[in-house]
Structure 1
């Protein structure tokens, strides 16, 4: 868990004059679920990539719990980023997929499986731990990918269009499970989406992003009539 503070954050691609993130300031308290709401080209994915360390800002700083991490590499930031693409290791079971990163970073097998079972239960995956990805539906694979990211209990959990591939009739249940998991574990989570209803359903606060700038910031109740 971490408090995330962005100060004067700016990003421009060297080969263009386009500014994707423009002097952005944002304070995300420890344990908050913040939704970055914006359309295509608003800069929301770039913002997540900056926080994760996958992109380098042109100006400004990124701090986790008061520590300036702007110049740290992605692996040094203890951030997990889950993309819309939910690719899983096809030769591994659900449990093995979820435990893989934990084991890679030195967790014991017993400890890893304890965390896997706890998260799987929260996400409704407890009966699928022995299945392989080709035995799962698209919705189940997507849910496993999110659970695989969450089981690592990162300082900051970043999700880019997490429900983008789900059919509408399963989004509500999966959305509720994701929000419940985030609040139970207490992870600071930042979710980027163009889905207004998703933002209203899960967010503690919503930041509306337009042309690299935050134009509105508030709780779902405060912003409901403006979205």
Structure 2
């Protein structure tokens, strides 16, 4: 797998006056589940896009395994990006969706089947492998999109609020399944969320961001410090 290192990274979108990310430096060890935690507009999504290659830093460097990838095309980085929105191929079954990118690489059919079946079992998709997009509910579509990315076993996996629109009960179980799969595969993973609860449940370390700046990197057990920086929202009155 791979390490990810950001050194004094900044970014400003052309349409804005103020930077979306300012002077962020952090290191993600090989095989770690590393969470970027912060509210909307904190810069966490922009950081993931710079690691993937969809955006280039205005300053600083992004390195994978110690190599500056600032001029490397996204297709050559072997970094998979999963958004909260999913887009499945409607004419394909779940199994075909999950294995499509692997077939393009020329991977052996038996290995493709092994990866697809393994991911399906871990994410509770075994019973719907022959189903098509219009036969799935929202949760199942989200899981297929995640499994489709994970079966490729990239060097780095970045996930941008992938569970944001799921109901809380299924969100918790899916989150735990993602963590279990990441541990099994050992893929270095960066996961952006605005939920402190989600962050504490899955992270090896948590980077807290606000207004494009890094406030600190914490272990999940440093709960008192985390709640001071990013308190969970108050529950709405019944």
* Equivalences for residues 103-118 of structure 1 within 5 A: 103-118=103-118
- What's the offset of the Cα at 1:114? 1.2
- What's the offset of the Cα at 1:171? 1.2
Q: RMSD of the alignment, in Å?
A: 1.1
Unaligned runs of 5+ in 1: none
| Matching residue of 1:138 | 138
Unaligned runs of 5+ in 2: 228-238
Task: Tell me whether 86-95 or 9-18 shows the greater mean CA deviation.
Answer: 9-18
**Is residue 208 of structure 2 the alignment partner of residue 208 of structure 1?**
yes
- What's the offset of the Cα at 1:61? 0.8
Q: Is the 8 A contact 1:200 1:224 kept in 2?
A: no
- What's the offset of the Cα at 1:216? 2.1
The Cα offsets for residues 65-107 of structure 1, whole Å up to 9 and x where unpaired, read as 1111111011010000000001211110110000011111221
- Equivalents in 2 of 1:188, 1:223: separation in Å? 23
Q: Is the 8 A contact 1:29 1:188 kept in 2?
A: yes
| Matching residue of 1:87 | 87
Task: Tell me whether 11-20 or 87-96 shows the greater mean CA deviation.
Answer: 11-20
| SS of alignment partner, residue 20 of structure 2 | strand
| Matching residue of 1:63 | 63
- Equivalents in 2 of 1:35, 1:179: separation in Å? 11
User: Matched residue pairs, number?
Assistant: 227
- What's the offset of the Cα at 1:119? 1.2
The Cα offsets for residues 114-168 of structure 1, whole Å up to 9 and x where unpaired, read as 1111111111111211111211111111111111111110111010101112111
- What's the offset of the Cα at 1:226? 2.8
- Equivalents in 1 of 2:226, 2:168: separation in Å? 23
Runs of 4+ in structure 1 off by over 4 angstroms are none
- Equivalents in 1 of 2:31, 2:71: separation in Å? 24
Q: TM-score, normalised by structure 1?
A: 0.97
| Matching residue of 1:4 | 4
| Matching residue of 2:231 | none
| Matching residue of 1:128 | 128
| SS of alignment partner, residue 97 of structure 1 | helix
The Cα offsets for residues 162-206 of structure 1, whole Å up to 9 and x where unpaired, read as 111211121121111000000100000000111111111111111
| SS of alignment partner, residue 61 of structure 2 | strand
| Matching residue of 2:40 | 40
- What's the offset of the Cα at 1:53? 0.3
